[in-house]
């Protein structure tokens, strides 16, 4: 009977050991599953970060492409000096049934028929265009009438021939501009030079600068 009891105890111990081993195997399997799940989550996070990084880079490239693509538009919106008018005029501009600055605009349209935006240059346009090299070299050393930015008197009598509506030399005077595209300075410099001449008799003949 004692032997039978011992055998039964051994069988119980073996069964317990088997159960313990099974539990250990289950625990190991769970740990492996947990490790695999953690690794999978880490891979997912890494993939998400990579996707986001690629998307950010693509957005930056798209922005850069937009900037590059817009450069021609920026250049096209900058003033450009087309050249001088084919027509000369005294200080009273009259052209195509227009007078004054309206006549100047028509002179430029007819002088540059292939450019629908041709018009009489303002001083600010001239300076802007010259500063970025937007000009036709035919303007070099041509003496032209110019509409000064600030009149020398309240009526413009001493600046631009009373808004280019006067052609004598008594009551008003005008201003001319000569652009030298490669002028040498006394100190050895070389570049664009603007020379203004004021108090010109409005009876004199000059061309005008045309811009787009």
- DSSP per-residue string spanning 105-167: HHHHHHHSTT-TT-EEPPHHHHHHHHHTT-B-GGGBT-EEE---SS-SSTTSTTTSHHHHB--
pLDDT, tens digit, for every residue of 80-104?
A: 999 999 999 999 999 999 999 999 9
Q: What is the pLDDT of residue 150?
A: 60
Q: Is-contact 145 207, C-beta < 8 A?
A: yes
pLDDT at 82: 98
Length of the chain: 212
Q: Would you list the domain boundaries of the chain?
A: 80-211
Instruction: Give the range among 7-16, 149-158, 202-211 with minimum mean pLDDT.
Output: 149-158
pLDDT digits (tens, 9 = 90+) for 139-191: 999 999 998 866 555 554 567 898 999 998 788 899 999 999 999 989 999 99
Vertex 65, ends 60 and 69: CA angle to 5°?
A: 150
Give CA–CA dist 76/129, Å, rounded.
Answer: 11
Threshold 0.85, pTM exceeds = no
Rg (CA), the chain: 43
């Amino acid at each position: 009977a004692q032997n039978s009891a011992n055998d039964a105890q051994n069988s119980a111990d073996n069964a317990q050991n088997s159960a313990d081993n099974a539990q250990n195997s289950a625990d190991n399997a769970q740990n492996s599953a947990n490790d695999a799940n953690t690794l999978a989550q880490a891979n997912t996070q890494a993939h998400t970060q990579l996707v986001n990084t690629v998307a950010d880079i693509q957005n930056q490239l798209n922005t850069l492409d937009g900037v590059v693509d817009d450069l021609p538009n920026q250049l096209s919106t900058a003033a450009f000096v087309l050249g001088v008018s084919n027509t000369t005029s005294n200080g009273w501009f009259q052209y195509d049934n227009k007078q004054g600055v309206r006549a100047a605009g028509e002179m430029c349209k007819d002088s540059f028929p292939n450019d629908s935006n041709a018009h009489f240059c303002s001083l600010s346009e001239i300076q802007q265009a010259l500063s970025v090299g937007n000009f036709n070299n035919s303007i070099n050393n041509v003496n032209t009438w110019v509409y000064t930015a600030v009149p020398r008197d309240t009526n413009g009598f001493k600046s631009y021939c009373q808004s280019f509506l006067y052609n004598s030399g008594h009551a008003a005077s005008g201003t001319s501009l000569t652009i030298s595209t490669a002028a040498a300075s006394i100190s050895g410099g070389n570049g664009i030079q603007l020379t203004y001449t004021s108090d010109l008799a409005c009876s004199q003949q000059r061309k005008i600068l045309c811009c787009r």
